Structure 1
Amino acid sequence: MTTYGAKGSPKNAHPHLPFPPPPFPPLPHPRRTVFQGTGLERVEDAATYAPGGHYPVHLGDVVGSKYKVIHKLGNGGFALVWLARDVKKGRCVALKILRADAPPREALTLEYLKTHTTTNRIAHLQETFMVQGPNGIHQCLVLDVGGPSLEHLILYCKRLPLPFRIDAARNLTEGLATLHSAGICHGDLTHSNVLFQIKGLHDWTEDEIYRYLGPPKTKLLLLLDGTPAPAFAPTHLVDALDYSNLDVARLSSNILIVDFGEAFSKDNVPPGLGTPVSFSGPELAFGYPPSYAVDLWALGCLIFEIYTSRQLLPTAFGSEEELISMATETIGALPEEWRNSYYNKEISLEPISGEKHRWFDAQIERAYTLDSRISKHMPELSQDQHATLVQLLRSIMVFAPSQRLPSAEVRKYAWFTGKS
């Protein structure tokens, strides 16, 4: 368990969460190191192995005296996540090792949720501890192990039977409702942060893991001049699991909501969020502060994606303009009162030649609607099923944040209960 040293909480700490650990000692002047490329697709930038950066890990390492690293689950800006085996209990876990300069928000949120929720739909924090490395002191989070993300399933075209998808969407909704009832907004609910669990994975042996998921792919890490990587970096980089060989029959419809690095409470709302644009509440571009409503918008996007294996609001360039254009073609016109509050003042939303701007024109016909897209991607639905699903999504995908159906009500919806 983590021991918290300070009695005073900093001004920006979550008012309902435990006190943060003491600040890390100052790091030496950053190194400037240039590495050769590895050719691997799902690896961290080797340049992040520097003071304040990642903790160098090798396959087979035992971290925290009992967690043997056997594969990589993923990598992000502030952490690497490893599939590890608790050698004392003989069970697999997800070992998330944060960069030395990572903020403590996620650990604080998970500690709070550990005592305020009982659901198995949210990543459960088993233990936290610190490790000292050449790049600083790193916080380690031991979590229940998940499986492929929704993004992985879409990428590898692993579409699942309709009853499975209904269960998965219901479980996701229940997880979000539990999170909101505990007073926490996730803030970064995307298809990469929704994991499908694999039946029995926590009890698999190393041989079973490599047989069912594939062995790790590694590449020697070298400096630009061809010499081996220094001690502050690993000797090899490890590609993250892609689950392309996973038999979908091994998947459970239970899901885990993970990655709470953007989470906040209603009493400590951040000025903005780092959510990818395709899942970001459009109101944020019009001056609204983050709220539970951003999770609800993302939930609608994810429910659509679970059912159709397509993103609801894909953006090629990740711009706010793309998001809003896609959203208005799918949902309809924006509220008129938003016209003067768009964040990008270089773009004029004023009427031209007497015509309303397309974003605000409720009279024009939209060809890319929820109705038409459900028809295209789910032709197997009956007429009643189609109508119920479209109605559910329209109840969530509302531009005005206050009018979105709360998660506690979404899970009671006829689509999930079978009651019309």
Structure 2
Amino acid sequence: MKLWTEQWKDGERVMPMKPKEELIGDSIVLGDFGLAHKAGTSTQKMQSPATYCAPERVHNINPSYGSDIWSYMCIFFELYTGTYLFQGWSHASVVSSIVHALGPLPESWKGTYYVGGSGEDKRYDQNWQMDPESDLKERITQLRPDVGARELELVLSILRRGLVYQHENRITAAELLDHGSFKGLMCMYAQ
């Protein structure tokens, strides 16, 4: 059926999918096959949407499983709050949003920014002070005023383990599934 509202781009609304009964279960699988490749295969060009792109990708570091965890955390936040974790239309504006939410980028990355815009030096200034209004806890509190203190701490614990600048220090998928905060949050919603 044709869309009745004026849109920026022509499109059609499609009917909901009717999956086969045997495909319906208790597990959910998220996947992005736009960048699917065999583990260990390097890729040279930027392919991630800016809002889900790990910051090391715009600093000439090849994607890793840690990059996937960063993207997962962005999706997790979006599903939980209903809005993007990092705002912007370009990699440059998203990187600015990341810095405002998490603090300065690693100083060792200075001079390696390469996707357009400028790799502004202040993004790497370890003495830069964050705006308290941009803090993850403050944003979640504003976006989800219905959330209690315990749930908020579980969500923050999960996000803080995955939104680490150095990809090798991020929680792995296996660790996340076994993490107490993740299990606790899933138990809250498994009713």
Matched with 1:373 is: 139
Whole-Å Cα distance in 1 between the matches of residues 67 and 85 of structure 2? Answer: 15
Whole-Å Cα distance in 1 between the matches of residues 127 and 39 of structure 2? Answer: 33
Whole-Å Cα distance in 1 between the matches of residues 40 and 19 of structure 2? Answer: 38
Say whether the 8 Å CA contact 1:332–1:362 is kept in structure 2.
no
Say whether the 8 Å CA contact 1:301–1:311 is kept in structure 2.
yes
Question: Which of the two has higher C-alpha Rg?
Answer: 1
- What CA deviation, in whole Å up to 9, does each residue of 1:250-284 have, x standing for no partner? x9874343452311223322212421111111111
Q: Does 1:393 align with 2:159?
A: yes
**Aligned counterpart for 1:411 among listed residues 177, 182, 186:** 177
Q: Does 1:279 align with 2:62?
A: no
Segments of 5+ residues of structure 2 without an aligned counterpart are: 1-6, 186-191
Distance verdict in 2 for CA 1:363–1:380, change over 3 Å:
same
Segments of 5+ residues of structure 1 without an aligned counterpart are: 1-38, 44-70, 74-82, 84-146, 148-199, 204-250, 351-356
Q: Percent identity?
A: 23
- Structure with higher strand content: 1
Say whether the 8 Å CA contact 2:59–2:113 is kept in structure 1.
yes
Say whether the 8 Å CA contact 2:107–2:124 is kept in structure 1.
no
Whole-Å Cα distance in 2 between the matches of residues 256 and 365 of structure 1? Answer: 35
**Aligned counterpart for 1:42 among listed residues 4, 7, 11:** 11
Q: Does 1:360 align with 2:125?
A: yes
Q: Does 1:264 align with 2:37?
A: yes
Structure-2-length-normalised TM-score = 0.78
Matched with 2:20 is: 202
Say whether the 8 Å CA contact 1:271–1:290 is kept in structure 2.
no
Say whether the 8 Å CA contact 2:52–2:70 is kept in structure 1.
yes
Aligned positions of 1:235-250 closer than 5 A = none
Say whether the 8 Å CA contact 1:273–1:290 is kept in structure 2.
no
Whole-Å Cα distance in 2 between the matches of residues 380 and 346 of structure 1? Answer: 38
Distance verdict in 2 for CA 1:383–1:337, change over 3 Å:
same
Structure 1 segments of 4+ aligned residues over 6 angstroms from their partners:
none
Structure-1-length-normalised TM-score = 0.38
